Amino acid sequence: MEEKEKLALIKYRLDQASGTIAEVDQLIGTDLLNIAVNRIYYGMFYCLNALALTYGFKSSKHLQLLGWFNQNFIKTGLLEIKYGKILRDAFKNRSDSDYVPFTHFCRDDVIKMKEEMTDFIGRLTLFINSYIAQNQDF
């Protein structure tokens, strides 16, 4: 993949991530809380994909991508520990919402999850943009 295409795809994934914030607001507003939990995770997942693209990591498996993130950014201290926890919790909540019968989330908890998603996307976006700026020949 050419660098121009790579940058375009990174931007696309970051735009997808940002777009989910508005989606989640609408879902919370209409009490579609389990679907909001799903979108919260996927907003972070899109952003994580942008990070992986930035660093040349490819995987089609969610757990492999999460493991890569934890190993290379959380354990090394490049990103704060809280972001690993936010992502891990979002993955678990999304899995429970999708696969565990009778799983329901309360509105206040989903609002907190949305705030964490917004923080996660914002922090990773800053990190990605900083990396790209430092590597002009990217």
Name the more confident of 128 and 1: 128
- 96/45 Cα distance (integer angstroms): 16
As a residue count, the chain comes to: 138
User: Residue 93 in contact with residue 40, Cβ under 8 Å?
Assistant: yes
Fold for the domain defined by 3-132:
Four Helix Bundle (Hemerythrin (Met), subunit A) (1.20.120)
What pLDDT, on the 0 to 100 scale, is given for residue 4?
86
What pLDDT, on the 0 to 100 scale, is given for residue 59?
87
What pTM did the predictor assign? 0.93
User: Residue 24 in contact with residue 118, Cβ under 8 Å?
Assistant: no
- 69/63 Cα distance (integer angstroms): 10
Q: Where are the domains of the chain?
A: 3-132
What pLDDT, on the 0 to 100 scale, is given for residue 3?
85
SS3 assignment, position 1: coil
SS3 assignment, position 32: coil
The least confident of 4-13, 25-34, 112-121 is 4-13
